[in-house]
A and B are shown apart, each in its own frame.
Chain A
Amino acid sequence: GPKVLQIPSHQIIDMGQMVTLNCDPVSNHLYFYWYKQILGQQMEFLVNFYNGKVMEKSKLFKDQFSVERPDGSYFTLKIQPTALEDSAVYFCASSLAGAGNTLYFGEGSRLIVV
């Protein structure tokens, strides 16, 4: 099936540093998402992105978070500066169209902030 690729698969960084998580969505998809999953819990919506803009974001999407997708490159989630509570698995997802369309998830990026 359609594949969403995420880089890195895991990263350990010191609190206060910056981290960028990269996502290569399904090639013809237009909508992109980031979800956060703490171990043993459900995925929680962070942000969605369409046509170069953030469409919606949740209260988990703190001021330290930002997303972008420069033309032809990765859809990225940047956290600057990181905090201990940012430790989680971050899943990127994409969909062909908007509401009511299937989301395909990447393998996740496990972030550990120490």
Chain B
Amino acid sequence: GEQVEQLPSILRVQEGSSASINCTYENSASNYFPWYKQEPGENPKLIIDIRSNMERKQTQGLIVLLDKKAKRFSLHITDTQPGDSAMYFCAASGGTQVVGQLTFGRGTRLQVYA
């Protein structure tokens, strides 16, 4: 199976600054790493993902980095806004799996204050 560790569990940042969330995984065969944002009472929504053939991906103020050697991947939110406040979950899948079972980290509660 796969285990995903995610830190920090809570992150408070001032509006306009950047926020970073880090995850590690155990199964070196995992090859797909999505990030989901979940607001209270809502479903998790995919915000960005990265596959093992890339080391960096950027879209709309989000940057994800993947270090396969260290089995570590991270999400960086630049220029945070109050609307970025939510729970963020990293996940990993792939490897020997046939079907796309995702293993999630425990989540990071991001709070952006003015």
How many A residues, CB 8 Å from partner? 26
**Which A residues are in CB contact (< 8 Å) with B101?**
33, 45, 48, 56, 99
CA distance A31 to B46 in the complex (A): 17
In the bound complex, do residue B107 and residue A100 qualify as a contact, i.e. CB atoms below 8 Å apart? Answer: no
Pick the residue among B42, B99, B104 that contacts A48 (CB under 8 A): B99
In the bound complex, do residue A98 and residue B104 qualify as a contact, i.e. CB atoms below 8 Å apart? Answer: no
How many B residues, CB 8 Å from partner? 26
Count of A-B residue pairs with CB < 8 Å:
72
The segment out of B55-63, B64-72, B75-83, B89-97 that lies at the interface is B89-97
A77 to chain B, nearest CB (A): 16
Q: Which residues of B contact A (CB under 8 A)?
A: 31-32, 34, 36, 42-46, 49, 51, 89, 93-95, 97-107
22 pairs from A and B in contact (CB 8 Å cutoff):
A31-B99, A33-B100, A42-B89, A43-B44, A43-B104, A45-B101, A48-B100, A50-B99, A56-B97, A56-B99, A97-B100, A98-B98, A98-B100, A99-B32, A99-B95, A99-B98, A99-B100, A99-B101, A100-B31, A100-B93, A103-B34, A106-B43
Q: Which residues of A contact B (CB under 8 A)?
A: 4, 31, 33, 41-45, 48, 50, 55-56, 91, 95, 97-108
